[in-house]
Amino acid sequence: MVLENQTDSVAVAETSWPADVRDMLAELDAAFPKMHDRRVLPRWVFHAEAFLTIDHTVRHQLWTRDINSWNVGFMSREALPVGANGTLRLEVPGGEVLVVSGQVKRSREFKPGWFEGYINFMQMIAPDVIERTKR
């Protein structure tokens, strides 16, 4: 895990995301409310634009849904290859960019042209970094 200082924001404020992204995020959040969360390690809501680079060449745009020290839930306009390793980049509150290696554990279509899934981090995100993602 690396934190890079960020001078120009790479994350787009959620309010300026495309309407279809905001709509799909709201639909997913409504379909899977936190009260039905059965995870051993709970995640909390964390909406951010992110980019996953697989094989050092293919860059996928994602929008995060929730996060904890070991995983991040996302949605995307394209299916990601389950089992693929990559580098995830996302901005955390405070303006720094989190760069972390991870593996796609799930990517499934929930609506035509929209996919949801999660990425498992290869190492635990430091508590001081992950604490900044809590609202």
Q: Quick one: CA dihedral 23, 41, 61, 127, positive or negative?
A: positive
Segment 88-95 mean pLDDT = 88
State pTM to two decimals.
0.80
What pLDDT score does 9 carry? 43
Q: Which residues contact 91 (CB under 8 A, 6 or more apart)?
A: 6, 9, 10, 11, 48, 49, 97, 98
What pLDDT score does 129 carry? 83
| Gap between the Cα atoms of 66 and 48, Å rounded | 9
Where are the domains positioned within the chain?
A: 2-33+40-131
Domain 2-33+40-131 annotated CATH 1.10.3720.10: no
